[in-house]
Amino acid sequence: MNFEDKLKRLEEIVHLLEDEKTPLEEALKLFEEGNALFKELKAYLKKAEEKIEILIKDQMGTLTTDEDEEVS
């Protein structure tokens, strides 16, 4: 599943958990699934943020993805 699909599934889970008709056992399973998705999404966003910081911190004004590789 890609980022967007995971985010969409997490939104579905939130709506199901907000629904008072969801049985407790199902709600617990949904919570576990949602928590796992949340952790995956958070890790993905952290990596993206780190890549952006590398691009922004370049002292020479050129875009780089790491210290040895320039992007044109």
* Residue 18 confidence (pLDDT): 95
Q: What is the mean pLDDT of residues 12-28?
A: 95
Q: Is 69 helix (H, G, I), strand (E, B) or coil?
A: strand
* Residue 72 confidence (pLDDT): 39
pTM exceeds 0.85 for this model = no
Instruction: Write down the domain spans for the chain.
Output: 3-70
Distance, C-alpha 58 to centroid of its chain: 25
